[in-house]
Each structure stands twice: as C-alpha cells, then as structure tokens.
Amino acid sequence: MTFKRLKYVLILFVGFFFFGGIPVEFGTEGAFFHGYMIPKPVIRVSLGTNLKDIRIRASSGMKIYEVDTSYRVIREDADLAEIRGAGEKLTEKYVVILAHAKERDEADELAQDFRARTGGNVFVADDESDAAGVFAVKLGDFLTRGEALAKVAELNAAGLEDVWIEREQILEDPERPIWMLIGNELESLARGSELYFIPANPESFLSLNSRSYRGFFVLKGTARGLVVVNYLNLEDYLKSVVPGELSPGQFGALEALKAQAVAARTYAIQNMGQFDRFGYDLVNTPRSQLYVGMSAEHPLSTRAVEETEGEIILYRGRPINALYTSTCGGKTEDAEKVFSGRPVPYLKSVDCSYEKQKEWPITARTPVPPITIDGRNASLDVAFLVGLGVIPLGPKPPDFRAGASFDEAVDWIREARRLAGLKDGEFDPDASALDFVSLARLLVDAFGWQDRIDELLLPGEVDFLLRDLPQVQGRDRGPLAYCFQSGLIPESVRSGDPQRTVGRAELAMALGRILRGEKDFFETGTFRSAGKGTIEVGQDFDRRTLSLSNHLRLLRTIEGESTFATKLTLLGGESVRWLERAGQVAYLEVLYPPNSNVLDRSSRYNRWQVRRTRRELGKMLGQAYAIGDLVDVEVKARGESGRVIELVLKGSKGSATVHGFQIRAALGLRDTLFVVDRAYDEQGRVDRFTFSGRGWGHGVGLCQVGAYGMAVAGAKYRDILKKYYTGVKIEKLD
C-alpha cells in the first residue's frame, strides 16, 4: 500500500515492565475509551508475550495514548507504529509437577495436601500445555535439573510416583528505561504507563505484524514481558475462533459450526479473567482457544456465530467448562479420568454415534469387469473416459476387451484433443490399420509432440527402447519410442508384436494417461444425501443436486485403492469426486474413511500409528522422569472409552507411574486411546514400540469432528451439544 503521507511512530522498548494504568470505562451497552465504543461483553486477548518486534498499522488512521495515572495523546492520527526491543532476558528454572486439576479450588485443595506431605514450596499455576482450562500443582523452584531429579527420587521413595520435571522460562528484572522516538524527537515513557492504540473510526481496524484484528490494542509490560492485548467484543472474537477451531472449508456443516460457536462462547465466558493478573482474559493459542484475527473469518462460521448470538451452555444455572476435543476416536472420556479432580457431571463418557443415523444406497446398473493389462486395471481408464464423454455409449456398451478400429480411435482422440484445449481441424489422419506403431504416430500428430521427439529424445534412448523391435524402422521409430518412454503403450509390447491390433482398453489407457496429465477434470465435494436417481453434495459451501447417468460407473476408494461397485451405502459426510457428461454424472467415486459408523470417522486421526525405538522413547522420557534407561511401558488401567489412564514406565533405575492427560505428553502421542505392540532384539529386550491408536486431543467433552458427522446426518446444534455435554441447557445471556 502506498501512503501519500506516512504518519510514522517509532517506539523503542528495551527491557522494561509497565504496571498499572487507567481501566477502560464501561457503559450500559458497551465499553468506551475516549469515544471508541465496543459492545459488551468485552474480552481481552493476549496476542503474544515477551514480544520483541512489533508493527502496528491502522487501516484508516489511529490515535495513540500513553496512560498511567492520567493520559496524554502521543499522536492524533497515525498510520503506523513500530516498536522494537530486544525483549526481556530469559533464563530458566525447573519445577516438579505434582498434579493437575480442572478447577482452581480443586488445585488449591491438592496444593494444601501436598504442602503437608512434602513440606516444600507448593503452588498452583496455569498449565502451559494445550489442555485448556487446566491448573497445575507445582513444587519448586530448582535451579538445575539435577536438583529437580534428586527431589523426584525423594518423592518416589515417599510413595509419590506420578510426578515429573518441567523446565520453565523466567524473565530477569529490567534494568533500563523505555525510550520512544516520534519523528526526530526522543523522549522517555513513564514507568507505570501503557500505550493504547485506538482506531480513528468504528469501521477501521488495526493489524499487528500484518495480521488484522477488530477492536483496539493495549501495549503493556507484565511479568511475562512486553504484551499486546486485543480488546474486542466477544462475538467478534468468536468470528475468528470458530473457523480456527473447526474449519468451514473441511467441515462445512452449519449446525456443527453453531455447536462450536456456543461451546467456544461458553468456554470464553467461563474462563474470563483466567489471566487477569497479567492484564488479559485469554491467550490466542489453543491453550485457551485459537484466535488469529480477521484473516480466519469465513461467511459460514460468521453466520453460525450470529445465529447463536449470546447463547451459552448451562448446568444447573451456571456456565460449564465447555471442553472440546478434535477427534474422540469413537467415544469420549470421563473428565476425572483424564484430568485429576472431582467428577464433572456434564463431562461424561459418551459414544460418538448417532441413533438417528441415515443410510443412503447408491446403485450402478452396469457392472464393470476388470481388464488387466500389464498388471494394471484398465477399466479405471475406461470409466474415466466414459465419465468425460470421450467414449460414446449407446444402448449396449462396447466390448472393451475387443480390438478398436482406426475410425473409432480417431473419434476418441479428437474428443480428447478438445478436452485438452487443442484447436479443431488440425488433425485429419489418413486411414490405416490400427496397430501400436500407427497409434504412436496418431498420438504424436494429434497432440503436437514432434518437437519433443526432435529436441528432447536422444538417439541412444530410441535405440535402447526399440532394441528388441528391429522391424520398426524409419519415421516410425521416434513416435513409438516416445510413447514407450511416456508409458502410453504397454511395456509388454516392447518384447511382443507392435503390429498387432490395439485393444479398446489399451487405447483407453493411453488417452486416460494423456488427459490426466493435462489437468484435473474431477469435481469434488461432500456427500449429503441421495434421492431417486440423484445425489446431493456440498461444494464450496453450497449444495448441489446431481443427476446420475444410466451408465454410471461407481467406485469406492479406501486408503488409495479404488475398486468398482454396483452398490454402495453412504452415511453422509463422505468425500466424493465425479465427472459429468451431458449434464449427468457418469463417474462417481466415494473416498471412504475406515469402515465404521462412528461420527468422527472422516477425521484423518480417527486411526493412527506411531513407531518409536526404545532408545528414542527413553530419551524423551528421561527429560522428565528419573528412571534410568527405559526397559518397557505397561498399561495398568483404562477409562470408560478405553483410554489409558494409568501407565507405568519401567527403567533400569526404577519406575514411574503416569496418569491421565500427562500420558499423552510423556509419550508424544496424539491421544491416550492406544494399544502397544513390541518388537524384540536377539537378547529378548524391547527394541521398538508400535502405538496403534485413535483420536486427537484429550478426549473430553464435545468431539468436533463428531459434531460435524452428526450435523451431516441431520442433527441440530442443540441436539449435538446435549449429546456430548450430559444434562445441560442452552440459554441466551441476559
């Protein structure tokens, strides 16, 4: 963007904390700061801590204020502010994690108990992992890992086995003041000040390091270094969070996005003020909820936010802690089995299935027998060309095992040329017998490849490719060699008879390979439902009804392997791709997830597998657990969903017991719903572990991909929420 007059503010920050500041004034309907109003409720989101290089730009001007016990205007109309600083100096310490809890009061009770048992400095802190809404009970601090390991050994001896070490970064105290450069004048800022960046008008927006946000910014110093806090309306915040947590592109079902909107709104309300001592409510990472500003917004998810405006989830009149997980693997888990603490009545294990699940059968009238050529099923190429309309179909399908005529080949090639975007009237060959030599000449002439042969195909390559075909001479050698090299003619012809008649399936294989190399002719979408001779698909956030041809070729693809079918049963949500001819679908391919009826079956993480050598896993575990060299891992207990809730790590110097959510972090896995297989070396020791599992996340609360599956099956967002959160009500905020 070019500015006629660049208003430029350069602010240099070097190692300093801001404290204090004037709070924003709140009116009846909104929060005001010198004429700029944000409708209530207002949320404060940290956009990063201990920031070093900050670039704040306004779409149409901004005011900059310095605020401490009073305020002063730094600039009335600025377009750009750059804050550059080295950031606070980081050092590190070690703590011992004793337990986790979902609620602060539970964590405080646990801390009191541990103080009595250990006599050390036990305290409660926010867990920095992605376990949203979890508090950690910690013991420390320790200056070295060795000191922490010694303490862990002491705790193990006292019967506390489920403890581990965590390294933390801390900030050293600042020593130097802040200086601000405005134009060519240098001045310092007051030590207790904050900077407010206020858009010049309600339609303007601010950007931080090229990422745009609604609302306004406050730049302040905290115990976590220099922080930019985004003040904005809760509903505007959700317009970014909802698509960030559940992509409308991949999971474009409105009712699922509505469920996500209500869950995210409830989570934000319940956890408002969680980081109040640092001057903000939530962070912009999955530690709270993923928030990346206006770039994430999408019309479909914005509609979901607007159509559920103000709605939250209540249990006995209070907002719930609306935990959600990406993929539950078929069943969610009781909260207390994953996070320590008391049972939560609305976070109970539920099956990720839908009793009202619909099924739609789709049939193809014409069975497709396999035609194998050099180990490849040529029927796939035949179906591709039928779908594109290259192969004409009459009342009776042609026999694709039989030979093709010269005129038939020319007609197919002409249609392929048209689809490839070549001009009409430039291909009019003289009639001849159709063998592989003449087919090669036809293809080279039809698609204009003679220059490729003359300039790119070496004489030595021609001799190599045709060394077993001495009967091919003169002008026929180049085209035939090029078609062999390009995979257009079966390899078996090189050691056979190149002058035999070309079969229809062999011709289809050649043209299929050519057209696939030109462009992707397939349309793609998500299957929604089926009617009589029709299917409904979701495509680019719209719905389309497609007519099915009487000559439909129906395919199923599972893990990359495609086979023909005469009947398929779909549940909704399957990815499909198709080809249309004359306004009807003649080729329909269903990309199946693993055969299952669970609602999150479409997730790539519904099933997964991870392999680690004993040495690799032992190195990971040795950072947190004082067990020596890893010997084995043993599952001791599972929860309602089958998730591992107690795991013993066996080592050469002792054992450690890991519980709940920490198992996932300790092993570096996507979820704790897994089984373990082992491979052994010649001495009988475990050499390699294979973890076969399901799910992604902690497995508690709303299953996001399951919500999508339920929405595709026809469920409304309130039904989705009441399925995954037991005994709740959905009501609108006053």
Read off the CATH number of the domain in which 112 is found. Answer: 3.30.70.1070
pTM value is 0.79
Q: Please indicate, yes or no, whether residues 79 and 110 belong to a single structural domain of this protein.
A: no
Structure tokens at 528: 């929604």
Q: Which of 134-148, 601-615, 720-734 has the weakest average pLDDT?
A: 134-148
Dihedral (CA of 174, 176, 177, 179) sign: negative
> Where does the pLDDT of residue 340 fall: very low under 50, low under 70, confident under 90, or very high at 90 and above?
confident
In a domain, 81, yes or no: yes
> Where does the pLDDT of residue 175 fall: very low under 50, low under 70, confident under 90, or very high at 90 and above?
very low
pLDDT at 120: 80
Dihedral (CA of 686, 622, 156, 657) sign: negative
Residues in the chain: 734
* Angle of helix 717-724 versus helix 704-712 axis, rounded to 10: 140
In a domain, 535, yes or no: no
Looking only at the bridges linking them, the beta strands covering 608-613 and 686-694 are: antiparallel
> Where does the pLDDT of residue 12 fall: very low under 50, low under 70, confident under 90, or very high at 90 and above?
very low
pLDDT at 133: 56
Asked if residue 373 lies in contact with residue 506, where contact means CB atoms within 8 angstroms, the answer is yes
- 429-466: per-residue pLDDT in tens? 999 999 999 999 999 999 999 999 999 999 999 999 99
End-to-end CA distance of the chain: 43
In a domain, 599, yes or no: no
Q: In the predicted model, is pLDDT for residue 1 greater than 80?
A: no
> Where does the pLDDT of residue 170 fall: very low under 50, low under 70, confident under 90, or very high at 90 and above?
low
* Angle of helix 504-518 versus helix 406-419 axis, rounded to 10: 10
- 220-272: per-residue pLDDT in tens? 877 667 789 999 999 999 999 999 999 998 898 999 999 999 999 999 999 99
pLDDT at 26: 36
Domain count, the chain: 4
Q: Please indicate, yes or no, whether residues 181 and 82 belong to a single structural domain of this protein.
A: yes
Structure tokens at 165: 């070490």
pLDDT at 300: 94
Q: Please indicate, yes or no, whether residues 70 and 193 belong to a single structural domain of this protein.
A: yes
Residue type, 419: L
Q: In the predicted model, is pLDDT for residue 635 greater than 50?
A: yes
pLDDT at 640: 97
More confident residue, 366 or 9: 366
Q: Please indicate, yes or no, whether residues 210 and 224 belong to a single structural domain of this protein.
A: yes
| Count of beta carbons in the 10 Å neighbourhood of residue 372 | 10
Q: How distant, in Å, are the alpha carbons of 27, 87, 626 from that of 669? A: 48, 33, 20
Radius of gyration of the chain (CA): 33
Q: In the predicted model, is pLDDT for residue 522 greater than 90?
A: yes
- 79-124: per-residue pLDDT in tens? 888 876 544 555 677 888 888 777 778 888 888 888 888 878 888 8
Asked if residue 319 lies in contact with residue 627, where contact means CB atoms within 8 angstroms, the answer is no
CB neighbour list of residue 597: distance below 8 Å, 6 or more residues apart? 353, 357, 571
pLDDT at 132: 52
d(CA 157, CA 151): 10
- Per the structure, the complete domain to which residue 106 belongs is given by 92-167
Q: Please indicate, yes or no, whether residues 709 and 650 belong to a single structural domain of this protein.
A: no
pLDDT at 86: 46
Q: How distant, in Å, are the alpha carbons of 116, 120, 300, 335, 637 from that of 133? A: 26, 25, 27, 12, 24
Dihedral (CA of 390, 393, 397, 402) sign: negative
Structure tokens at 253: 């079902």
CB neighbour list of residue 168: distance below 8 Å, 6 or more residues apart? 92, 93, 94, 95, 128
In a domain, 420, yes or no: no
HSE (CB half, 13 Å, CA atoms) of 489? 30
Asked if residue 138 lies in contact with residue 96, where contact means CB atoms within 8 angstroms, the answer is yes
- 321-332: per-residue pLDDT in tens? 999 999 999 999
d(CA 41, CA 327): 31
Q: Please indicate, yes or no, whether residues 13 and 158 belong to a single structural domain of this protein.
A: no
Q: Please indicate, yes or no, whether residues 152 and 215 belong to a single structural domain of this protein.
A: no
Q: Which of 221, 246, 271 is the C-terminal boundary of a domain?
A: 246
In a domain, 16, yes or no: yes
Q: In the predicted model, is pLDDT for residue 10 greater than 50?
A: no
Q: Please indicate, yes or no, whether residues 205 and 221 belong to a single structural domain of this protein.
A: yes
Q: In the predicted model, is pLDDT for residue 476 greater than 70?
A: yes
Q: Which of 379-393, 401-415, 529-543 has the weakest average pLDDT?
A: 529-543
In a domain, 219, yes or no: yes
Q: Which of 214, 230, 246 is the C-terminal boundary of a domain?
A: 246
Q: Please indicate, yes or no, whether residues 201 and 224 belong to a single structural domain of this protein.
A: yes
- 15-38: per-residue pLDDT in tens? 333 333 333 333 446 666 767 889
Kindly report the backbone phi and psi dihedral angles of residue 703, in degrees, each rounded to the nearest multiple of 5, phi listed first: -90, 115
Cis peptide before 141 (omega within 30 of 0): yes
**Residue owning tokens 């020593």:** 175
Q: Please indicate, yes or no, whether residues 96 and 233 belong to a single structural domain of this protein.
A: no
| Count of beta carbons in the 10 Å neighbourhood of residue 104 | 12
Q: Please indicate, yes or no, whether residues 338 and 192 belong to a single structural domain of this protein.
A: no
Q: Which helix (H) or strand (E) holds 98?
A: strand 90-101
Share of the chain above pLDDT 70, in %: 89
- 573-586: per-residue pLDDT in tens? 889 999 999 899 99
d(CA 125, CA 680): 41
Mean pLDDT over each residue of the chain, to the nearest integer: 87
Structure tokens at 123: 């305290």
Kindly report the backbone phi and psi dihedral angles of residue 410, in degrees, each rounded to the nearest multiple of 5, phi listed first: -65, -40
Q: Please indicate, yes or no, whether residues 69 and 98 belong to a single structural domain of this protein.
A: no
In a domain, 638, yes or no: yes
Q: Which of 167, 195, 212 is the C-terminal boundary of a domain?
A: 167
* Angle of helix 254-270 versus helix 299-307 axis, rounded to 10: 60
d(CA 555, CA 160): 57
- 345-377: per-residue pLDDT in tens? 999 999 999 988 889 999 998 888 899 999 899
Asked if residue 282 lies in contact with residue 289, where contact means CB atoms within 8 angstroms, the answer is yes
Q: In the predicted model, is pLDDT for residue 656 greater than 50?
A: yes
d(CA 400, CA 384): 13
CB neighbour list of residue 186: distance below 8 Å, 6 or more residues apart? 179, 180
Dihedral (CA of 658, 662, 663, 667) sign: negative
More confident residue, 25 or 676: 676
Dihedral (CA of 270, 271, 277, 278) sign: negative
Query: b/e map of 708-724 (b: 16 or more CB within 10 Å)?
Result: bbbbbbebebbebbbbb
**Residue owning tokens 């409720």:** 41
Structure tokens at 56: 């704040």
Q: In the predicted model, is pLDDT for residue 704 greater than 80?
A: yes
For 56, counting Cβ atoms within 10 Å of its Cβ (0-12 exposed, 13-18 middle, 19+ buried), the class is buried
pLDDT at 163: 83
pLDDT at 3: 38
Looking only at the bridges linking them, the beta strands covering 702-703 and 324-325 are: parallel
Q: Which of 448, 442, 415 has the alpha carbon at shortest distance from 429? A: 442
Q: In the predicted model, is pLDDT for residue 179 greater than 60?
A: no
Asked if residue 241 lies in contact with residue 295, where contact means CB atoms within 8 angstroms, the answer is no
In a domain, 586, yes or no: no
pLDDT at 100: 78
Task: Kindly state the average pLDDT of the residues 144-167.
Answer: 81
Cross-strand bridge partners of residue 545: 536
